[in-house]
């Protein structure tokens, strides 16, 4: 059995610190890096980011949308980026926010988490809005392959509360998602492999985020979240927190040393 994702993530964070750098090749960033908004620019952007972050941070998070917008050739770049980053020792969390009926969810899980897939990542983001049970294929495929699953709970965008704070009896929708994750992770040590996405920008925490699993916290930097917000919101579960920043770090490119310095500065703020 491969080593569980939760344990691999804990070890990587202990070694490099708690930071996930997003690989988000926005058209505006390609331009700022002096790259064309095409597949060659995409490839250069992703390869430079992987080179800069290898040995520097624990996790990178390619945002699938920015690769998909270049069509099949863009998806091929995503596949190479995942492989190169993993070969370089980075954990790869593929931000693809999938979710569908169980039988289709299994196909997505096969694509992103199965060891036989050319696109296998270490972990993937999923959406629970077809019901938490629809995610079971992701959870089981992850378990078999030493992978992780991050479920959207309290997202960083201002529109999220309309759905995520809605009540289901005594609980909120986000609370139900977090309850499922807590129960799935149980008392696994050092932590379970099933995580939640909770934004740095949520204001106050309306739910208990102690799920004995990782918390991916996007929203740092470009979306206005700060290191102080993180400490205030997540100080009590700090060992499980993986703050994520994309534009906040990527804006320093394309120079590799400058990208590394931006990641190091972000880590310093978090310490």
Q: Which residues are catalytic?
A: 97
Size (the chain), residues = 271
- From the list 17, 25, 147, 218, which residue makes contact with ligand LLZGTKA7 (rule: CB under 6 A)? 218
CA 144, CA 231: separation in Å to the nearest integer? 34
Q: Give min distance, CB of 104 to ligand LLZGTKA7, in A.
A: 22
Name which of 146 and 221 has its Cβ closer to ligand LLZGTKA7: 221
Q: Rounded to the nearest whole angstrom, what is the least distance from the CB of residue 154 to ligand LLZGTKA7 in the complex?
A: 8
Q: How many residues sit close enough to ligand LLZGTKA7 to count as binding (CB under 6 A)?
A: 18
Q: How far is the CB of 246 from ligand LLZGTKA7 (least distance, A)?
A: 3
Q: How far is the CB of 211 from ligand LLZGTKA7 (least distance, A)?
A: 16
Q: d(Cα 244, Cα 263) in Å, to the nearest integer?
A: 11
For ligand LLZGTKA7, the binding residue among 10, 48, 63, 193 (CB under 6 A) is 63
Least distance CB 153 / ligand LLZGTKA7 (angstroms): 9
Cis peptide before 96 (omega within 30 of 0): no
Per rule CB under 6 A, is residue 243 in the interface with ligand LLZGTKA7?
A: no
By CB under 6 A, tell whether 185 contacts ligand LLZGTKA7. no
247, 256, 264, 269: residue in contact with ligand LLZGTKA7 (rule CB under 6 A): 247
Looking up tokens 């290898």 gives 54
Binds ligand LLZGTKA7 (CB under 6 A): choice among 78, 202, 244, 263: 244
Chain contacts with ligand LLZGTKA7 (rule: CB under 6 A): 22, 24, 63, 95, 155-156, 197, 199, 218-219, 221-223, 244-248
């Amino acid at each position: 059995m491969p080593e569980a994702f939760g344990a691999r993530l804990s070890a990587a964070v202990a070694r490099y610190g708690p930071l996930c750098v997003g690989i988000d090749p926005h058209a505006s960033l390609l331009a700022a890096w002096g790259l064309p908004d095409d597949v060659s620019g995409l490839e250069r952007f992703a390869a430079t980011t992987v080179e800069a972050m290898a040995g520097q941070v624990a996790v990178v998070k390619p945002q699938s949308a920015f690769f998909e917008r270049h069509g099949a050739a863009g998806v091929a770049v995503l596949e190479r980026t995942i492989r190169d980053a993993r070969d370089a020792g980075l954990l790869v969390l593929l931000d693809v926010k999938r979710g569908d009926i169980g039988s289709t969810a299994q196909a997505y899980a096969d694509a992103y988490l199965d060891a036989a897939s050319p696109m296998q990542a270490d972990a993937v983001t999923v959406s629970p809005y077809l019901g938490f049970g629809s995610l079971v294929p992701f959870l089981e495929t992850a378990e078999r392959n030493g992978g992780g699953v991050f479920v959207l709970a309290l997202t960083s965008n201002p529109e999220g509360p309309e759905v995520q704070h809605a009540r289901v009896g005594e609980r909120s929708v986000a609370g139900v998602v977090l309850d499922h994750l807590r129960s799935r992770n149980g008392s696994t040590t050092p932590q379970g492999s099933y995580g939640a996405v909770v934004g740095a920008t949520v204001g106050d925490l309306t739910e208990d985020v102690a799920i004995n699993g990782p918390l991916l916290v996007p929203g740092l930097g470009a979306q206005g979240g700060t290191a102080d917000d993180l400490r205030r919101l997540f100080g009590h579960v700090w060992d499980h927190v993986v703050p994520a920043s994309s534009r906040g770090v990527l804006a320093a490119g394309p120079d590799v040393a400058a990208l590394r310095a931006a990641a190091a500065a972000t880590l310093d703020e978090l310490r």
